Amino acid sequence: MQVSIETTSKLERRLTVGVPAETVDTQVDERLRQAVKNVRLPGFRPGKVPLKVMRQRFGPGVRQEVLGEVMSRSFQEAVTQEKLKPAGQPTIEPRSMDAGKDLEYIATFEVFPDVEILELKDYPVQKPVAEVADEDVDNIIEVFRKQRGSWVEVERPAAEGDRVNIDFEGTRDGEAFEGGSAEGSDLELGSGQMIPGFEDGVVGMSAGDVKVLALTFPEDYHAEELKGAAVEFKVTLNKVEEMELAPLNAELYAAYGLEGDDESEFRAEVKQNMARELRNAVDARVKKQVMDAVVEAYADLEVPAALISQEVDALRNQMFQQFGGSAPEGMDLKAILPDDMFAENAARRVKLGLVLAELISHYELKADEAAIRSAVEEIASTYQDPDEVVNWYFSNQEQLAAVQSKVLEDKVVERLLESAAVSDSACSYQEAIALGQQSNQ
């Protein structure tokens, strides 16, 4: 086998590979000889079809199969010989494929970049510092009680937080517009479901009241024809309901995984869960800043376009599954969710993946069994039957591999934090949670 290599760009390589004709022809003949045993042709006894006839009848098809296998195998041998690390599949350009002639083809592909270990020193990291206050616990428990509560009709003017049932008719210059009218529509006041001013205008109305609201659609409204439009809504209020919170009892506690009727125990359980969420939010915020520092430090690192393309496809499929499940046959996902929606995030993820892999190797970091089990148990603690979840993870290699990757990432973050300029930033529980959510987006 003859191999020549050409560097066409920083990451792109062109391999010209030549394979002797004898190698291909020998494999074609051997495969045809094997096929004779199972071929039945008129005029020949089973297993006695001459090789010349086999070549005439089946030679071209068998040759194509062998060529594909030989090119695949010789490409792997060539990149191993040249000590190359291809990123993605090569583009194959045949040069000579005819029978009796040496096989020759050109394989064009990208290679993984060489990642230099850079020293990240004294880069700023702000660590949110917060605690779970009793007021925070009260707020979360009120959310739980609302989730399990019920709407009760009341005879009083509507207030923010109430749910009202209304009829409304929207007009623009005296003419009704599409989507501007409804009957028997439920609306929670303060939810921001309607355009600015609508819900505020309903506050204070009682059942049976009719009111005309003069409003203006926002300039960034999704319907082009209504952006900034002055309109009127005639609103008829049919019913006012207020939220009756679910009582603090065993039924409510059981709905959130606690058996028994002890309110103090329930509050302690809620506070413990909130403390775990706070830790995760702080870790996410810190990790995001470390990763940002890595991306900035390696801003000049060129990454293979093939890997970015693969990551774009993965992110697109992930988003589609979140919102719509699997794509119907024939649907062009790229037309619905084009590449440019994901390109920036995909490039960042690929770069981080390459750099982190090199850092893990450089610092000889390991995801030991104790760290993996601790991470799995942390995940399982949020479920009603933690032992069942732990057993599921350790019986599912794909999920366990994902945990292992996260453990290694966390170890890299810990290592890089040793040289960071970390400062505490005091904030409330809610602010810390919001920062964590932003960092996970």
Report pLDDT digits (tens) over 109-166: 999 999 999 989 999 999 999 999 999 999 999 999 999 999 999 999 999 999 999 9
Last residue of a domain, one of 111, 134, 162: 111
Same domain, 220 and 190: yes
Quick check: is 408 in a domain?
yes
Residues 270 and 225 both lie in one domain: no
What is the model's pLDDT at position 250? Answer: 95
- Cβ-based neighbours of 74, under 8 Å, separated by 6 or more: 1, 17, 19
Nearest Cα neighbor of 134 from 274, 254, 262 is 274
Q: Considering only CA atoms, which of 27, 30, 28, 36 is closest in space to residue 54?
A: 36
Q: Which of 210, 244, 278 is the last residue of a domain?
A: 244
Residue at 137 is within a domain: no
390 and 326 in a common domain: yes
Boundary (domain end) residue, out of 219, 244, 269:
244
Total of domains in the chain: 3
Q: Are residues 434 and 291 in the same domain?
A: yes
Residue that wins the pLDDT comparison between 33 and 231: 231
Record the tokens describing residue 161, joined without a space: 């937080």
Do 408 and 349 fall within a single domain? yes
Confidence band of 327 (pLDDT split at 50, 70, 90) = low
Q: What share of the chain is helix, strand, coil (3-state, %, to 5)?
A: 50, 20, 30
Indicate if 85 and 163 belong to the same structural domain: no
Question: Which are the contacts of 224, defined by CB distance < 8 A and separation ≥ 6?
Answer: none
Does residue 402 sit in the same domain as residue 282? yes
Whole-number percent of the chain with pLDDT over 90: 80
Express each pLDDT in 104-118 by its tens digit: 999 999 999 999 999
Query: pLDDT tens digits, residue range 341-368?
Result: 999 999 999 999 999 999 999 999 999 9
d(CA 438, CA 383): 24
Give pLDDT, residue 156: 97
Exposure on the CB side of residue 74, measured as CA atoms within 13 A:
24
Question: Is it the case that residue 437 has pLDDT exceeding 60?
Answer: yes
Residue 207 in 3-state DSSP?
coil
Clarify whether residues 279 and 413 are in a common domain: yes
Residue 215: which CATH number? 3.10.50.40
Q: What is the pLDDT of residues 29-53, one digit of tens each?
A: 888 877 777 677 776 767 767 777 7
Per residue in 390-407, pLDDT (tens digit) is: 999 999 999 999 999 999
Q: Which residue has the tokens 């529980």?
A: 429
The verdict on 350 and 387 lying in the same domain is: yes
102 and 178 in a single domain? The answer is no
The reply to whether 94 and 232 lie within a common domain is no
Answer whether residue 125 is part of any domain.
no
- Domain extent, residue 216, equals 150-244
8 A C-beta contact, residue 182 and residue 238? no
145 within a domain of the structure (yes/no): no
Domain membership flag for residue 249: no
What sign does the dihedral 109-110-112-115 (CA atoms) show? Answer: positive
Ordered DSSP codes for 125-172: EEEEE----HHHHHHHHHHHHHHT-EEEEESS---TT-EEEEEEEEEE
